[in-house]
Each structure stands twice: as structure tokens, then as C-alpha cells.
Amino acid sequence: MTAPISKEPFKGLDGAIAVQSGICRLSAEDGRLSYRGYDVGELAANSTYEETAYLLIDGHVPSRAELRAFEQEVKGFRKISPAVHKAIKAAPVGADPMAALRSAIATAAFEDAVAVPPSAEAARRQGLRLLGQLPTMVAAYHRRRAVQRAVTPKKSLSYAANFLYMMSGEAPSTEAERALDAALILRADNELNPSTFAARVTAATGADVYGSVSAALSALAGPRHGWHAKSVLHLLEDIGGADKVPGWVRGRLESKGRIAGFGHQVYQGEDPRTPFLRSLAEARCEATGFGALFRTAQALEAEVVRTSGQHPIVDFYLAPLYRALGIPGDTFTAVFAVSRISGWIAHILEQYGDERLIRPRAEYTGPVDLQYRPARRRR
């Protein structure tokens, strides 16, 4: 029997409950975010990305032995094959990194074909393979565009440190490693955001992990979802200094233009991740010569909150933080994927446990009862 359609459709599905999940709790009313019951700020301050990934994917905080085994398994997947390297090198230098990333994942899928729907064991292994390889793919394409040789991943380095090493060719400082590690944790999941929902819809069809992650990447590549940090960086550079912020904001508000990085679609007040990221961005920007960029961001936050009441989203302070870590702006969306891959995997695996398709209804708004005329009778 078909379920009755709601008389009051949700525009954009805002507020609609599409699935039940035990992964991420987003409490919009009091501005809280937790993974598997653990506050995200506490995880960012005390955990590591690897431990957080284990928590999301396997559902509990690991023992020391479980964490060591998980870390070694993921590290064992870090290297990408010659075929994947070839796919990355074949991408035009000016191509969107997200398009290059989808091409690389499609190539990796050829090398790891399993029955569909995949077994629980095969799906988890595919997920961990992507968790290990996605940073390598992103860094390899970054090096390709910089006309530099790809850097081989190091098993001795953490997830965050290895990514920065593969991007620059130099081992990062402890402070830079820790800053990126915390930033990755804070962005690892955020309930049913568009890319995660795309992944779950795809997984609900029985598609494998590669197909589900490819769907997530396609959604993330859209400017309304994955471009926020990149747009914030362009905006801060366009403003040109903290002293110019009031006039810039006044002009933008008078023209009714949107200000990138402000106004979360779900959180009603401040994004719970913002204070932690503000602190990280300030420390790294001051340490690396980007203090003026941070002060412009801080002044912009104060002015926008004062004049409009809108608060910055998670991407706002990620922009100066990533820049201070040496990550170029056009790679920010791909770094988003490096963070969110653990959350995507967790949601894909959880979705496999429900054999029902995700199949919402639409309210029809077109014409009705039109009379069809054959072509020979139409003018």
C-alpha cells in the first residue's frame, strides 16, 4: 500500500525527516552537534581524525588495540595504483579538482569490483580503501597542476600530517598537523547535508560504496554546498583589510547581495563549530603571516552579526585556516571531501541496513487533463 502524501510539502525538504540515523545528532535549537553521542567540540579538542573516523564508521570509541588496527588498515590503502595516477595525470591542468577526483574514484572502482549490493565486509573494506586513498588523490592532482611530482604517502605520519606532507612535499609542524586534524574532525559529519543525503539515496538502491561516494562528490561539487570556504576566501581577499569591512558590508546589504559564509540553513544561532575554528585560524594565521587575513575575517564576522544577526557557518574560519596551512583556495572543496569521507562511509554503511528505497513524493504543479492531438492534427 502506498503511503499517503503529505498535504504540506517541505520546500527543499526543510525540516522533513527522511531517515532515522544513529550517527550524527544536530540540535538546531540549542546549537549542538555530536557524533554517536560525543560532542564534536570535545572530539576536536581531544580526539584524532582516525579515532573519530572509527567512531563514525564502527559506532563506538575504539580500544587502543582497535584503533591501532584501524590506523594500520587505512594506512595500508593510502597508495593509489598506476591506473589511478594515470587518470589524474590525464585531467587537464585547469580542470575542477572535484571532476578530477570523480574520475580517479571511478578508475579505482574498476580495480575493486564486488557484487552489488555489497556484503557488509566488502562495503566496509571499500569504505576504508577510499578513506585511505582520497587524500592521496587530492594531493596528487594538486601536485599535477603545480607541475610537481606526486608525493608518495608515508605510513609513519597521521592522516592529517600525511595529507599536508603530500600537498607540500615537506613534513608539517606539529601545530599545523594538529590544526588540520581538528578541522577535519569538525567537518567529518553534519547529519543529512546534501552530499550525505545523495550518498544515502544512492546506497539505498544497493549501489556499491564507490558509486555512493561518487554521488556525494557530485553534490559537494555544487556551489551551494561545497564552495562556501572558497567563496569566503575570495570575499576576504576582495575586501582587502579589516578597516574596509564596514563600508563593504554596508554596500553589500544596500544592494541586497548575499555574504558568503553566513547563515546556516539549520542552526538558528552560532554554528557550534565556529568558536573552535576561530581559535585555530587565529593561531595559524598569526604564525604564518596571514594575520591580516584573519583580522579581516574577524571584523567581517562582528559587522555582519551586528547589522544582520546572521552568524558564520563552519566554512567561514576554515578559509583563513586552510590558507594559513598552505592549501590553495580552489582545492578547498576537495579538502571538504577529505574531511567528510568518514561521515559518508558511516551513512552508506548504515543505509545498507535498510532495504527500503528512499523514495519521496512530489507535489504536482503542472497542467491537468489536457487533450492530446496527434501531430498530423497540430499546426
pLDDT tens for the chain, 379 residues: list them.
344 444 555 666 666 778 899 999 998 778 899 999 999 999 999 999 999 999 999 999 999 999 999 999 999 999 999 999 999 999 988 889 999 999 999 999 999 988 888 999 999 999 999 999 999 999 999 999 999 999 999 999 999 999 999 999 999 999 999 999 999 999 999 999 999 999 999 999 999 999 999 999 999 999 999 999 999 999 999 999 999 999 999 999 889 888 999 987 777 778 899 999 999 999 999 999 999 999 999 999 999 999 999 999 999 999 999 999 999 999 999 999 999 999 999 999 999 999 999 998 888 999 999 999 999 999 8
Q: Which of 85, 142, 228, 264 is catalytic?
A: 264
pLDDT at 269: 78
Instruction: Report the C-alpha gap between 334 and 142 in whole angstroms.
Output: 10
- How many Å is the maximal CA-CA distance in the chain? 77
pTM above 0.85, yes or no: yes
Look up residue 187 and give its three cell numbers: 567537518
Q: What is the DSSP letter of 34?
A: E
Instruction: Report the C-alpha gap between 245 and 237 in whole angstroms.
Output: 11
Q: Which of 39, 96, 112, 225 is catalytic?
A: 225
Sheet holding 32-35, edge to edge: 24-27, 32-35, 38-39
Exposed / middle / buried, residue 23 (Cβ in 10 Å: 0-12, 13-18, 19+) = buried
Instruction: Report the C-alpha gap between 39 and 52 in whole angstroms.
Output: 11
Please confirm, yes or no, whether 264 is among the known catalytic residues.
Answer: yes
Would you call the peptide bond into 117 cis, given omega within 30 degrees of 0 as the criterion? yes
Encoded amino acid at 188, one letter: A
Q: Which of 254, 215, 196 is nearest to 106 (CA)?
A: 215
pLDDT at 68: 98
pLDDT at 31: 80
Q: Which of 353, 245, 264 is nearest to 304 (CA)?
A: 245
Instruction: Report the C-alpha gap between 351 and 354 in whole angstroms.
Output: 6
Q: At what angle do helices 332-352 and 49-58 cross, to 10 degrees?
A: 30
pLDDT at 9: 54
pLDDT at 12: 61
Please confirm, yes or no, whether 142 is among the known catalytic residues.
Answer: no
Look up residue 229 and give its three cell numbers: 570556504
Q: Which of 142, 271, 315, 347 is catalytic?
A: 315
Encoded amino acid at 270, one letter: E
Q: Where is 24: in which H helix or E strand?
A: strand 24-27
Look up residue 259 and give its three cell numbers: 555574504
pLDDT at 121: 95
pLDDT at 28: 76
Instruction: Report the C-alpha gap between 145 and 164 in whole angstroms.
Output: 16
Domains of the chain: 24-221+335-352 (1.10.580.10), 228-324 (1.10.230.10)
pLDDT tens-place string over residues 81-128: 999 999 999 998 888 999 999 999 999 999 998 888 899 999 999 999
Instruction: Report the C-alpha gap between 366 and 7 in whole angstroms.
Output: 17
pLDDT at 187: 97
pLDDT at 3: 45
pLDDT at 2: 43
User: Which residues are within 8 A (CB) of 125 and not within 5 positions of it... i.e. 6 or more apart?
Assistant: none
Instruction: Report the C-alpha gap between 345 and 37 in whole angstroms.
Output: 18
